[in-house]
Structure 1
Amino acid sequence: MAAVTASEAETWLIEKIALRLGVAPGEVSREVYFDELDLDSTEALILAGELENWLGFELSTTTLWYHPTIKDLASYLAEESDRRATAA
């Protein structure tokens, strides 16, 4: 499986979050903290599950805690995806 780039992960996250919030993707900042996005815990869990399906690997329950913005999370996801693709 090919690694996901930070840009691809950012785009994916922004599109999914915008859909959940009912706003245009351009209204979702990559710098805003997830806890400021008005996603309830159920929506966050659904989003995490969709993200895992898209990536093809599980995320730690603390991933969003340690990578609290779209920009930070996308960068981490690209690194993790690359590591897994290289190891495969």
Structure 2
Amino acid sequence: MNTQTTLPGAQQAAAGARAATRPDAAAIEAWLVDYLADRLGRDRSEIRRTERFERMGVDSLAVVSMTGELEEWLGRKVEPTLAYDHPTVQDLAAALAG
């Protein structure tokens, strides 16, 4: 059996399995709200999904920490700059789900 012919199929199957378990935007939003509420010492209801991170008091160190934990939860690389390009819970969740 030639591994070069079977490896792409195995890679496609693994990619399909990851995609099937990939959280949707709603799940990512919920994770972000929980994370921010915990880190900022607020109730979940106080975290507005359309408010910019910096207005919530999330500084650059907190963004790096948040994206690191997102990487762990999602099981894939999340660049810290993504939170600057998509500066709200709603925008970041949509970008990560897309």
The structure with the largest alpha-carbon Rg is 2
Deviates more, 1:43-52 or 1:26-35: 43-52
Q: State the 4+ residue runs in structure 1 displaced beyond 4 angstroms.
A: none
Give identity over the alignment, percent: 37
Structure with bigger helix share is 2
Structure 1 residues 37 and 44, CA gap change in structure 2 (3 angstroms): same
Q: CA deviation at 1:53?
A: 0.4
Cα distance in 1 for residues equivalent to 2:59 and 2:81 = 17
Of 16, 38, 44, 2:35 maps to 16
TM-score (norm 2): 0.75
Q: Which has the higher contact order (CA 8 A, sep 6+)?
A: 1
Of 41, 65, 74, 2:84 maps to 65
Q: CA deviation at 1:66?
A: 1.4
Q: 1:53 corresponds to which residue?
A: 72
CA RMSD of aligned residues (A): 1.1
Of 59, 62, 65, 1:40 maps to 59
Structure 2 gaps of 5+ residues are: 1-17
TM-score (norm 1): 0.83
Structure 1 gaps of 5+ residues are: 80-88
Q: Is the 8 A contact 2:67 2:80 kept in 1?
A: no
Cα distance in 1 for residues equivalent to 2:83 and 2:36 = 14
